[in-house]
Structure 1
Amino acid sequence: MKVSLINGVVMGGGAGLSMNTNFRVVTERTVFAMPEASIGLSPDVGASYFLSRLPGHFGEYLGLTGRRLNGAEMFKCGLATHFVPSKKLNLLEKALYSVTTSDSSTITALIDKFTEIVYLKEGSPLKRLDTINKCFSKGTVEEIVLSLEKEIEVNGTEKWIADALNYMRGSCPTSLKIWLRSVREGRVQSIEQCLNRDYNISCHSLRRTVSNDFYEGSRAKLFDKDNKAMWDPPKLELVSEEMVDRYFREVEDENWERLHLPRRSNLPCKL
């Protein structure tokens, strides 16, 4: 049994290491997000496995909008198994060191002694899950954007919708389409299948199989920090299905190898 104690920012690779463990303990200091689409990648490290198993289409929402969640939200949606105040975390860690069994019920009972009840803030997207399901269940990214825009027309501007649209409009169009397909495939696949696909997609991004988007996004967001990435293609409607398909194929290089995962005696954790 593996326990992750998450008391700060957990994004990208950090999420991959912690979200795939059996117990995921968060605090009031925890911040989670998968913002890869903003730099020309798509959520990876098994995200299509653990995000696709969240309520409704909340996983599509998180990957397409880069939305940040706090510890309470992570617990309420199922990304975390326990919420423990940060002031108790050291005590919990010491208690875990004394455990001599891998029995899940024993570990659960121990962690439960340190947990507290948490409540969602009024502006939490989890309180808008009906609208999220309606919009993010659409078949294409273009339809999702259109649905969000219609929500604003009918019900007026809500901050979470405006934030979602602004993020998607500034993110890599190809990455958004890759994520939507990936999370929906992941919903019916094993974690091993998801990790293999994520590795394959990342290889194509790094090798510039289709475009230079990852390097351009990194330049604009992480290095020059001008936030003016020149995506190729620059618009959703210009990203063809064939272009997206190429990311899901194996790399055409005799020296390239598929991801080899070690055999495990235990089953993947359940979200």
Structure 2
Amino acid sequence: MLILDLLMVVGLGACMSLSTDMRIVTENTLFCMPETTIGHFCDALSSYYLSRLKGYYGRYITLCAAGLKAEDLLHLGLATHYVPSRRLNDMVQHLTSLNMPSLHEIQQETRKFTEEMPTTVRLTSTPYISQHEKETVIEHCFKFDTVEEIVAALEAEGSKFSLACKAKILAASPVATKVTLELLRRAPSLSLTECLFLERHLWAIDIVCIYNTLRCKALIHTAYFFIFLVFA
């Protein structure tokens, strides 16, 4: 069981939560995979879990570095329970008082503390669009096999949501978005272990790229230093 009562659960922490049997969210939860914005691909077995979401939600989450709140996570099955943060302490105390409970018993006892999500404000990162409408756009625009085709489809769709997605993709690292998309394209046919090995292989390449980038920058700075000495 994992309680996601944090302002932001990102990257590695976000993906690690997906391997648990129970994922409890609150009004404070924000789940995000921002790797493409920093030039990295989505790892930590995100390729396995996110590629198996309905439609092409995994591509949307990773390519757009989309932040997901309680409503979004429950809609996708990434969360199992909604418990208001004010009830968390009571829930934890109650669960820890149980004597060697089974998973089924823990689930039953946890339901005593769950509530319906508030109706006055939607706990979603996109309150201006319904879950069904968003799902339709994602299904239509993220089905393509290249980033360029996805961006073109979002541009053609033209809604506020699709244009926001387009802007986020274009603001991310071009290489990272392409690698992530290819990873999510291959992952549905791979086992969990195969996804792990594929991500590990990409990590090895990534480390070499980072090393070469830093080495190149060091050489450039050294050249600037000698130019400064000569012309100062």
TM range (shorter): 0.7 to 0.9
Q: What RMSD over aligned residues (CA atoms) do the two structures have, in Å?
A: 2.3
| Shift, 1:57, TM fit | 0.7
Percent of residue pairs identical: 31
| Shift, 1:16, TM fit | 2.5
Matched, 1:148 2:154: yes
Matched, 1:162 2:163: yes
Matched, 1:48 2:54: no
Higher helix fraction: Structure 1 or Structure 2? 2
Amino acid paired to 1:126: Q
Rg (Cα) greater in structure = 2
Q: Distance in 1 between matches of 2:92 and 2:211?
A: 46
Contact 1:61 1:132 in 2 (8 A): yes
What residue is the counterpart of 1:123 in the other structure?
A: 128
Q: Distance in 2 between matches of 1:39 and 1:48?
A: 18
Q: How does 1:201-220 map to 2 (within 5 A)?
A: 201-208=202-209, 212=213
Q: 1:197 to 1:108 in 2, by over 3 A?
A: same
What residue is the counterpart of 1:246 in the other structure?
A: none
TM-score (norm 2): 0.82
Q: Distance in 1 between matches of 2:17 and 2:150?
A: 29
Amino acid paired to 1:70: K
| Secondary structure of the corresponding residue to residue 80 of structure 1 | coil
| Shift, 1:100, TM fit | 3.7
- Return 5+ residue gaps in structure 1 as ranges: 217-271
| Shift, 1:180, TM fit | 1.1
Q: How does 1:1-271 map to 2 (within 5 A)?
A: 3-8=1-6, 9-101=8-100, 103-118=102-117, 120=122, 122-124=127-129, 126-127=131-132, 128-152=134-158, 157-158=159-160, 160-208=161-209, 212=213
| Shift, 1:103, TM fit | 2.7
Contact 2:137 2:162 in 1 (8 A): no
Q: Which deviates the most, 9-18 or 203-212?
A: 203-212
Query: Which runs of at least 4 in structure 1 moved beyond 6 Å after TM superposition?
Result: none
Q: Deviations over 1:34-86 (max 9, x none)?
A: 01001110111111122112221111111110010112211111111111101
Q: Distance in 1 between matches of 2:129 and 2:19?
A: 24
Q: 1:106 to 1:203 in 2, by over 3 A?
A: same
Amino acid paired to 1:123: Y
| Secondary structure of the corresponding residue to residue 25 of structure 1 | strand
Count of residue correspondences: 208
Amino acid paired to 2:136: D
